[in-house]
Copies of this chain bind each other. A is one copy, B any other.
């Protein structure tokens, strides 16, 4: 997120929302989980995301220390991503969101 009022807030909670409070980042973190995964796999697994947006989000996640990026000097190139300790520590929160949604979501049948 570029919003400086969030990223530079003096409230730590607001800053936290600044790093993970958008639609793609929780999805990406959840898909990576505990594995090491390549860019192309992420692009294939995550529905509807474009390579451009995926690149941007991965870059921000890396800057915020949730993600580790390992580029191998090969051809064709190979780049692997995995969650850092900080990223892994966020997984239980995503699990809690799943449980919360399962319990309270109102499903309307069309």
Contact = CB atoms under 8 A, between A and B. Distances in A.
Contact of A104 (B13, B65, B92, B96): B65
A7 to B, nearest CB: 10
A26 interface: yes
This protein's copies in its complex: 2
A55 to B, nearest CB: 19
A5, A101, A103: which has the most chain B beta carbons within 10 Å? A101
Interface of A, secondary structure class, is: helix
Given A17-B26, A26-B21, A96 B92 contact: yes
Interface of A: 1, 3, 5-6, 9, 12-18, 20-23, 26-27, 30, 47-48, 65, 85-86, 89-90, 92-94, 96-98, 100-106
